[in-house]
Amino acid sequence: MQAARGASLSPSDQSSPPSASRPSRRQLVLFGSIAALAYVVDQASKMVAVDRLADGRTVEVVGEYLQLHLTFNPGAAFSLGTSYTVVLSFVAIAATVAVLWTARRLGSTLWAVGLGFLLAGVTGNLTDRLFREPGPLRGHVVDFFMFPNFPVFNVADICINIAAGIVILQAVRGIRVDGLRHDEADRADRTEAP
Q: Tell me the angle at which helices 109-131 and 25-52 cross, rounded to the nearest 10 degrees.
A: 40
Q: What amino acid positions are annotated as catalytic residues?
A: 143, 157
User: DSSP string spanning 91-154?
Assistant: HHHHHHHHHHHHHTT---HHHHHHHHHHHHHHHHHHHHHHHSTT-TTTPPEEEEEE-TTS--B-
State the DSSP code for 181: B
Q: For residue 141, give every residue at least 6 positions away whose Cβ sits within 8 Å of its Cβ, in sequence order, or none.
A: 72, 73, 74, 125, 128, 129, 132, 154, 156
Q: How many Cα atoms occupy the beta-carbon half-sphere of 186 within 13 Å?
A: 5
